[in-house]
């Protein structure tokens, strides 16, 4: 599509479509899911541009963690990061969040109110690596911290553990520098293993209440046991590396 339209025309179309979305704010609150998706289809160019910002922000954040991983691997002869996973929030998940938080279905409202459209998950072997990486990352002068939630020191009631950082990172485009929000989740392999299993349970619909209760309690026990394991593994690693 871009090849057929000159850049200037494309900007006009984009701003018209943005306008259309923004001016429809009053009716947007009453849109059904189908109407919302149809609206998104119609404004394809704005849509592509909107998500492009978040894809670029993900690239910036991933690079920052990969650079830290490289440097740490030379200084401490091991890689603190096991793997990095990134995702753009799906339409369905975005839509559910807009309903839950009563956010108007506009790009501007989504950008202002939804902080995890872009998500980067950094999975480490050890808890200490999480805090060390997070500190180094947050000290970078182009990163603005918006919110920090430490679910490792204060786990959720169900046992969920991770360190969450909502940050703003600038992306450099042809004619602008744009700050974009990204949610960074840092966790250990054990926390990640637990969270992916618990996530499956959350989206399981056809489950009997008593089975759900039993699995929820079993998952909480697993979370506590795997947190204890994370701590013991950290101590073993520190002894091996002569840190204690
Ligand atoms: P998905 O599918 O990963 O995108 P907010 O984001 O501020 O509106 P909240 O609950 O205050 O809502 O944010 P929070 O607690 O920081 O959680 C955001 C994300 O962390 C979730 O995104 C999950 O990825 C993860 N998370 C938080 N709590 C749990 C939990 O109990 N279990 C699991 N498995 N993951 C959790 P989404 O949008 O829920 O899902």
Per-residue confidence of the chain (244 residues) as pLDDT tens digits?
333 334 444 444 444 444 445 445 545 667 777 777 776 666 666 778 889 999 999 999 999 999 999 999 887 778 899 999 999 998 888 888 999 999 987 888 999 999 999 999 999 999 999 999 999 999 999 999 999 999 999 999 999 999 999 999 999 999 999 999 999 999 999 999 999 999 998 887 788 888 989 999 999 999 999 999 999 999 999 998 887 6
User: Token match 């602008």: residue?
Assistant: 176
* Rounded (10°) angle between helices 189-202 and 209-240: 170
Task: Quote the CA–CA distance of 157 and 176 in Å, as a whole number.
Answer: 43
CB of 198 shorter than 6 A to ligand 1: yes
- State the pLDDT at residue 13: 40
User: Token match 């399981």: residue?
Assistant: 204
CATH class of 22-189: alpha beta
Residue 235's closest CA among 222, 224, 244? 244
- 5: helix, strand or coil: coil
- State the pLDDT at residue 242: 80
- 162: helix, strand or coil: coil
pTM, two decimals, is 0.83
Q: How far is the CA of 199 from the centre of ligand 1 (A)?
A: 10
Task: Quote the CA–CA distance of 31 and 190 in Å, as a whole number.
Answer: 41
Task: Quote the CA–CA distance of 142 and 19 in Å, as a whole number.
Answer: 30
- State the pLDDT at residue 29: 66
User: Token match 């480490």: residue?
Assistant: 124
Return the structure tokens found at 153: 């020191």
Residue 233's closest CA among 129, 131, 85, 157? 129
- State the pLDDT at residue 1: 34
Pocket test for ligand 1, best of 103, 114, 160, 187 (most atoms within 8 A of CB): 160
CB of 105 shorter than 6 A to ligand 1: no
Domain locations in the chain as residue ranges: 22-189
Neighbour tally for 19: CB within 10 Å: 11
- State the pLDDT at residue 184: 98
CB of 96 shorter than 6 A to ligand 1: no
In the chain, which ranges are continuous DSSP H helix? 7-23, 25-28, 33-42, 44-76, 91-100, 107-113, 127-139, 189-202, 209-240
- State the pLDDT at residue 45: 63
- State the pLDDT at residue 14: 45
- State the pLDDT at residue 144: 98
């Amino acid at each position: 599509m871009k090849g057929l339209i000159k850049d200037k025309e494309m900007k006009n179309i984009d701003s018209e479509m943005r306008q259309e979305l923004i001016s429809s704010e009053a009716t947007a609150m009453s849109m059904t899911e189908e109407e919302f998706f149809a609206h998104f289809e119609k404004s394809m160019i704005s849509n592509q541009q909107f998500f492009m910002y978040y894809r670029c922000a993900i690239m910036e954040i991933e690079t920052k963690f990969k650079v830290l991983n490289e440097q740490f691997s030379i200084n401490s002869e091991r890689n603190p990061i096991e793997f990095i996973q990134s995702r753009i929030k799906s339409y369905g998940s975005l839509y559910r969040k807009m309903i839950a938080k009563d956010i108007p279905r506009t790009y501007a409202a989504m950008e202002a109110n939804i902080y995890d459209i872009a998500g980067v998950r950094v999975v480490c072997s050890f808890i200490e690596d999480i805090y060390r990486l997070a500190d180094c990352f947050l000290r970078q002068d182009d990163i603005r911290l918006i919110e920090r939630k430490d679910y490792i020191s204060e786990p959720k009631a169900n046992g969920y553990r991770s360190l969450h950082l909502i940050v703003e990172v600038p992306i450099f485009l042809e004619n602008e520098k744009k700050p974009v929000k990204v949610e960074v989740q840092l966790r250990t392999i054990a926390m990640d293993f637990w969270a992916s299993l618990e996530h499956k349970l959350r989206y399981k619909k056809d489950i009997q209440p008593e089975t759900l209760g039993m699995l929820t309690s079993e998952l909480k026990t697993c979370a506590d046991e795997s947190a204890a394991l994370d701590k013991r593994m950290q101590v073993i690693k520190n002894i091996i590396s002569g840190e204690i």
